[in-house]
Structure 1
Amino acid sequence: MAAPVLVLRTAAGRSWRFTLADLRELPAQHLRTTLPAALGLAGASDWEGVPLSRLVALTGATPTTLTLTALNGYSVAVPAQDLARFDPVLAYRRDGHEITVRDKGPLILIYPFDRHPELNRQVYINRTIWQVHEIVLE
């Protein structure tokens, strides 16, 4: 049995565990965008993953903030309004290939930088967190 790559928790203590196979079974979203140079992933890429809003909808929760935590303990707070406004994707593939831990995977939160020029600010660059393994809905 595959190990979970993502744990999703609510403030009330309910939790869900997802393997990569579980995430791939959910309806995927494709996004082509160029990330800001500060993120170290040069050039335009085709990203595939689950819209963060879809994962939240699975829980039935209505959070105001999502705290995403990386494998190294780094965490970011993402306002829930970002989900409706920008529809960021929790990507597990880049250019058709699964994203390895070495390449900042297995999950990276990707904003559609090319569609929304206002995302090219440090606050959104900071929210583009890689190696996501836990999300807490608050």
Structure 2
Amino acid sequence: MNKPPTDLKLLKTIYKNYYDEFIKYEKDKSSRASWNYIPIDINLLANELKTDPDLLFGRLYYYLDKKYKYKQDDGSSVYLFTKKVGEDCNAINFTMLVGVLADLQQSHFRFLLPMILSTIAITTSIISLVS
């Protein structure tokens, strides 16, 4: 059984696979129903991430969307992931995804840097004790 992908890995994979699609809208407005919502292929992503498509959908729809959606001043909601936008199904708010991804990468770096520095410090201490 494979481990489920982290939020960081999942969103990075979506970004990598759909960035060109996001840019394409500038040239061809008929490519999708909305500028910032891009339909994604859950099965393709699940295959790439070696996970079950239903689990991936659930992760996006029930967990990540609930975590990151918000209400605007006029009362309308902005979703990270939605089942339908116009004729497009399973759409990700790409502009929001970029912000969430940047925040997750920054948090990951804030966690990783102290770990690396601690490992270097411990290694240096062990080497100085041995010599």
- TM normalised by structure 1 equals 0.31
Q: Rg larger in 1 or in 2?
A: 2
Identify, as 1 or 2, the structure richer in strand: 1
* Structure with more contact order per residue of length (Cα contacts < 8 Å, sep ≥ 6): 1
- TM normalised by structure 2 equals 0.32
